Structure 1
Amino acid sequence: MAGQEKGNLTLVSEFLLVGFETLPELQITLFVVFLVIYLATLAGNLLLIVTVWSDRRLHTPMYFLLSNLSFLETGYISNVIPRLLVSLATGDKAISFSGCLLQLFVFSFLGATECFLLTGMSYDRYLAICDPLHYTSNMSPRASLLLALAAWALGFVAPSCTVIMAALLPFCGPHEINHFFCDLTALLKLACADTSPTEITALISAAAISTAPFILTITSYAYVILTILRIPSASGRKKAFSTCSSHLIVVTSFYGALIVMYVVPSGAQSLDFNKAFSLLYTVVIPVFNPVVYSLRNQEVRDALRRALRKTGPAPSR
């Protein structure tokens, strides 16, 4: 293991991502499974982005925000899975200190951005269903652009302090991270100094990032559901609900994962549990979202059919 001297300590300059080494007989199987999921996620999200941007009927605030979510999910899974695939294929588990911190920051940045972006999408549905007469003026292209930029900017700033504090900690061994990516909880267990300030900062940051957007999202959907229930016709209620059902499923799965990870007391969780459950929001949810939006959204399905007809062979005369 490479290291550098600082005083009487030999500081770690790289870590080993343990990953799934406790399942040696499944390394090839896991490689194939994660590769298929990764390619499917890239294909699904990129197809959704191209469909939204190429079909003028989808040039609306809702689909603009959705394309941002698909772009985010592509980056989210690409930050974790390629390094895991290399580890499974070659057995090389080493990641540099700077590479580990970069992976940690990108993971935190995109996770925080998703919280804010989902809140923006719920606000869009609130305006569309609860105040439809003023929707066009309140959710203009400029407003939706500012909403997306705010989500990305807040997501970038929110976890920065925690990552900087983690970067300043001394790591002098051991150097094995019991995870398949540089997770903060697993990383802090390796620090040879008091990590309490970093842990408190991370807790406050995570609470601020997740709690406020969660409350705003729940509030928006409470008004949306109440408004839908007041619609007199069953067909009207069904149509209104269909415009937000996909997003509601995505919000439920995303925050459901966060609640299990951060509301369940850390003492009741082992690192193995943390590792296994991390697969849900780093691997499963990114491939799940485009499927939900494609299969449950009639406008997206129609746009995909139009795109396929344009790219298909010309009809014979």
Structure 2
Amino acid sequence: MKARITKELLNIDGPQIVLLSGSANRRFIGVAVDYPNMEYPFFCCSVHQADWINYIENKADLRFLYEAAKGRSYYLFDWNKCNDGEANLKKASLDDVEDESLWPDHGFFASYHTVEVKISNIQNETEQDFYIDGKWEPNEFSSLYAKLADVYALSFVQSQLLSPNTNQSIKSSIEDAVADRMFKGGGSYIGFYGDLSKRVSGQSQLTVNKIQYASPGVINIRGNSDIFDLMKEIIAEFEDNFSTCRDLYGKIDSALSKLRLKRQSRSSSFPSKQIEDDMFGKATELLKAIGFKNTQELYVACKGDALVYTKLSLSVFRRVNGIHKFRAQGRLRIED
């Protein structure tokens, strides 16, 4: 995987900590390490926007970024093999990830950088282009926008649950949206995602600025820049782990069908604690593979109901997979 080196955060007789950017606006941080068969090796991890803000504000150390790496995504690259500022990231093996000598020590904060890094105001709005190509049926445009809006709302939820500054009233609004929408229409999630953003904050709402129906064309949408970043991270993480996500979805969906729990009332539950634990584990694994880090907070937002939580994991998969299908067909491209 390719990533561009955007900044040397710490340079002492050469780069020691570097910042990189990848596709779908993914952010990586890398530290110089000792590693065999590489001239100038770096050990990297992907960094979630909320974690990055905490790090830059000295509310978390460098070690925390690695421990909280989104999707447990770790990589290695050779600085001396970089070409025109571009690094070739190699997925770290499980043995590499478990090698404590590669990990940064506790207690290194952003204030120790040799260059200053600023973060943008998280309230800033921006415009995001979604480029379309190929043949589209009229109903597919509305379907695409609905899925984009749903994943945007999901990203908004993640940003609120991850932020240490989110107050209890906002978290309660998220819980209320789950409770109100979860079983309407026999288990339908119609309106659930849009309801989340309406309940919590008007600033999260998407606004379509322009739709150019052509081949190629573009859908230009205005929204919160940091939520767009999270949204693109979720899509990228989903595509990296697509096989795992698809297999987990199939197992959960099949199990709920056999248990006849897909369209049951709110009072329904799993028939045994063993089955509940198994489904809860698979749902958590699915959400993490998609890129949803704070699964425990999401479970709390589901009022601790394992069946609601499990059904929500399937819903999240369907929304992100809907966007992935357009991208896999070559009909949708998201600008970094």
TM over 0.5: no
Higher share of residues assigned strand = 2
Structure number having the greater helix percentage = 1
Task: Give the greater-gyration-radius structure (CA).
Answer: 1
Q: TM-score, normalised by structure 2?
A: 0.28
TM-score relative to the length of structure 1? 0.29
Task: Name the structure, 1 or 2, with higher relative contact order (CA <8 Å, separation 6+).
Answer: 1
